[in-house]
Amino acid sequence: MLAAAMPGALVTGAGGGLGLAIARRLAERGYSVAVTDVDGPAAERAAASLGGDCWAIALDVTDASACERAAADVAARTGSLDVWVNNAGILSTGVLHEQDPAAHRAMLDVNAIGTFNGTLAALALMRSAGSGHVINIVSLAGLVAAPGEVAYSASKHAALAFSIGALTDLRRTGIRDIHVSAVCPDGIWSPMLHDRLDDPDAAASFSGVMLTPDQVARRIEALLDRPRPVTSIPRWRGAVVRLFDLFPSLALRLLPVGLAEARRRQRRFKQRLERQAP
């Protein structure tokens, strides 16, 4: 008797950080994982570190056709595309009206359009198969406008709306066994933040609970068993930022206090890392 084929999965932005942690969780769970990244050599190294039936694809998520080809590659190699995780993202900080509009465009292209492209590429195959799960890594910045990260927040708001809307359209057309989940984690100690310890405009990313990639990856793995439309990590932080979203005038009045505390936390985090350094 032939052995059952391993289910197929793909993770974008998996050359390191959270994406690699997610890919590792999926591989340990028994998935054959396409480890993708715009940096092809980083994807190769990440796939090699995972071993097993994991392989690398150099993927620019802003290219819709490339996403479709990657989805087809997973299905051809494993027989199915069961999970697609849109994790690729970029962050540029600064005062909105002082930033180069090209930075705004780049964040929209990767964080929003890249999520659209990956979701649609995955759903095209999942709809034919009648099952599957798309998981979109958004951010708490997708729930509230983070100071110093306004354009980034806007791109993540778009990704969140698209995720919920995609799930709504699946359900209203009678599709019940395909899931779309948006994950909104607090700050994650990943390559995106490694160089931001001295950046005052990035302080909002350090304002709450600093998570490890594996902590977030464990929560994402849990969604495979119990899908949810939106998951904030930790849950209480999602409730807090939604409160500010409901009462923007209150958020504006509290902004100086919140930013001061965020910058203190950022400095403390840097000092703690410096003490731990050999």
Residue 192 lies in a domain: yes
152 is catalytic: yes
- Quote the CA–CA distance of 49 and 42 in Å, as a whole number: 11
The answer to whether 156 touches 142, Cβ cutoff 8 Å, is: yes
pLDDT band for position 278 (50/70/90)?
low
What pLDDT is stored for residue 2 in this prediction? Answer: 33
What pLDDT is stored for residue 256 in this prediction? Answer: 81
**CB count in 10 Å sphere of residue 24:** 23
What pLDDT is stored for residue 3 in this prediction? Answer: 38
Is the predicted pLDDT of residue 4 greater than 70, yes or no?
no
Sort strands 54-58 and 32-37 into parallel, antiparallel or unpaired: parallel
Is the predicted pLDDT of residue 80 greater than 50, yes or no?
yes
pLDDT band for position 82 (50/70/90)?
very high
pLDDT digits (tens, 9 = 90+) for 90-133: 999 999 999 999 999 999 999 999 999 999 999 999 999 999 99
- Quote the CA–CA distance of 92 and 136 in Å, as a whole number: 20
pLDDT digits (tens, 9 = 90+) for 151-162: 999 999 999 999
Domain that holds residue 111: 8-276
pLDDT band for position 198 (50/70/90)?
confident
pLDDT digits (tens, 9 = 90+) for 23-47: 999 999 999 999 999 999 999 999 9
Residue 81 lies in a domain: yes
Number of domains in the chain: 1
**Quick one: average pLDDT of 141-145?**
91
Residue 1 lies in a domain: no
pLDDT digits (tens, 9 = 90+) for 252-262: 887 787 777 77
Which CATH number is 71's domain given? 3.40.50.720
Residue tagged active-site, from 55, 84, 152, 206: 152
- Quote the CA–CA distance of 211 and 187 in Å, as a whole number: 6
Residue 84 lies in a domain: yes
What pLDDT is stored for residue 23 in this prediction? Answer: 98
Return the amino acid letter for 263.
R
The answer to whether 180 touches 163, Cβ cutoff 8 Å, is: yes
What pLDDT is stored for residue 194 in this prediction? Answer: 67
Residue 214 lies in a domain: yes
φ/ψ of 86, rounded to 5, equals -85, 100
Residue 20 lies in a domain: yes
What pLDDT is stored for residue 277 in this prediction? Answer: 64
**Hey, what are 53's tokens?**
């039936």
- Quote the CA–CA distance of 178 and 216 in Å, as a whole number: 22
Residue 2 lies in a domain: no
Residue 3 lies in a domain: no
